[in-house]
Structure 1
Amino acid sequence: MKTRILSFLMILALSAHAGSVAAQALSLSQISDYLNQLQTAQGGFTQINGDGTLSTGQIYIKRPGRIRFEYNPPQQSLVLASGGQLAIFDPRANTGPDRYPLNQTPLHIILQRNVDLTTARMVTNAVSDGTTTTVTVQDPANPQYGNIQLVFTANPVALRQWIITDDLGNQTTMVLNELTTGTTIGDIMFNISAEMRKRGLD
């Protein structure tokens, strides 16, 4: 898979919480339940790219299978996932978006309808530092597609950041701001064809 995919995929740094107290490590079942109950969410993000540069923007999630990354200026790129595809829109191009199968990216793991991290060979590492629980997850049938490292806090359980490692070992970190969950997000936000028409690319 091209490195470019993951350079656009944002994912995750931990929000600082002053005065936070030690929390019990989350179990894989607790994390799976959290992801399965996360139907919609939106918020800001800061992406740390592989070359050390930073990008910021807004993220919208509508499970299963849909996610939208809107990058702020000067980048102004857009990444959409829906219909089993990942589409990357480059504002400097006058052609259609680059498209890739979503199931060949680590994002597929957390966007699928039923997440079960207890599946054999899905979680390759799980650690807790007393404040956060970090799990490294891969597609057990296709580990060659890379992995995603998810960072959670507890009380209540919340996803704070993720790090995507591609098949070449390149890493992209996304730090999530406070996500607002349970919001109403229209399906049009994830419609690749509609976005192409909006940009005059159809």
Structure 2
Amino acid sequence: MDRRNFIAGLTALGASGLATAGHAQGADELARIDAYLNAMRSAQGTFVQFNSDGSSSQGEYWIKKPGLMKFEYADPHPHVIVADGTWVAVVDRASNDEPHQYPISQTPLNLILRDRIDLLNSGAVQRVVKSGSRTTLMAVDPNERDTGSLELVFDENPLALREWVTINPQGQRTTVRLNSMQQNVELPRRMFSIQAEARR
């Protein structure tokens, strides 16, 4: 499992000005996706991560807006990725080292974990591509185009976030596929504590 690529993808993008998705059809799609993401206040389920070297791992995830997220990997991987509203941290439960932390405001998680989402005006989205029963948003920081890119993939009928793909500057792709999702569930704030995860 490549946690570095997962986090590198998260930190590759900022949330600055809109690129090229401002045409009418793209704007309509972004408005529809905004409405879906804003209606989702929390979610939990299972995921599979596919790495560029062909390896994979799996686990459970929890999301609560604004700003909270946890991805817990199943054995034999002792890692947890936690966002506490300010920071995103990688916790290695098999190590006594301090967690690696990154400001959530400097990751694309800020686009989907903020209290109110406005993809059309928040920046980063370059293209909206519809293919069969899927819609894909392609995003890159317009001020840092060499740092990597992000794809958000949604199923249609009904609209549902299905996966995201991070592509680093070397072209390596890391895909996180959400296998299941239960929305608007009650999740306690304390489960998103970086300090608590580091002590476990």
Task: Give the TM-score normalised by structure 2.
Answer: 0.80
Distance in 2, Cα, partners of 1:88 & 1:175 = 19
The superposition leaves residues 169-192 of structure 1 with CA deviations (integer Å, 9 ceiling, x where unpaired) of 432101111200011111111011
Tell me the secondary structure at the aligned position of residue 186 of structure 2: coil
Task: Kindly indicate whether residue 38 of structure 2 is the aligned counterpart of residue 36 of structure 1.
Answer: yes
The superposition leaves residues 12-33 of structure 1 with CA deviations (integer Å, 9 ceiling, x where unpaired) of xxxxxxxxxxxxx971101111
Contact 2:66 2:85 in 1 (8 A): no
Contact 1:57 1:70 in 2 (8 A): yes
Task: Give the paired residue count.
Answer: 183
Contact 1:10 1:47 in 2 (8 A): no
Of the candidates 114, 133, 136, which is equivalent to residue 135 of structure 2?
A: 133
List alignment gaps of at least 5 residues for structure 1. 12-24
The superposition leaves residues 129-151 of structure 1 with CA deviations (integer Å, 9 ceiling, x where unpaired) of 12111111245565555332111
Aligned to 2:184: 182
List alignment gaps of at least 5 residues for structure 2. 11-25
RMSD: 2.5
Aligned to 1:81: 83
Structure 2 counterpart of 1:136, one-letter code: M
Return 167-176 or 183-192, whichever deviates more. 167-176
Distance in 2, Cα, partners of 1:106 & 1:130 = 26
Q: Deviation at 1:115?
A: 1.8
Tell me the secondary structure at the aligned position of residue 60 of structure 1: strand
Tell me the secondary structure at the aligned position of residue 96 of structure 2: coil
Output aligned runs, 1:156-171, within 5 Å: 156-171=158-173
Give the fraction of aligned pairs with identical amino acids, expressed as a percent: 38
Distance in 2, Cα, partners of 1:73 & 1:43 = 17
* Distance 1:104-1:144 versus aligned 2 partners, 3 A rule: farther
Output aligned runs, 1:146-157, within 5 Å: 146-157=148-159
Contact 1:106 1:145 in 2 (8 A): no
Distance in 2, Cα, partners of 1:10 & 1:188 = 26
Aligned to 1:60: 62
Tell me the secondary structure at the aligned position of residue 94 of structure 1: coil
Aligned to 1:69: 71
Q: Deviation at 1:166?
A: 3.4
Return 53-62 or 95-104, whichever deviates more. 95-104
Q: Deviation at 1:120?
A: 7.3
Distance in 2, Cα, partners of 1:149 & 1:42 = 21
Q: Deviation at 1:155?
A: 2.3
Of the candidates 96, 99, 119, which is equivalent to residue 98 of structure 2?
A: 96
Distance in 1, Cα, partners of 2:7 & 2:56 = 11
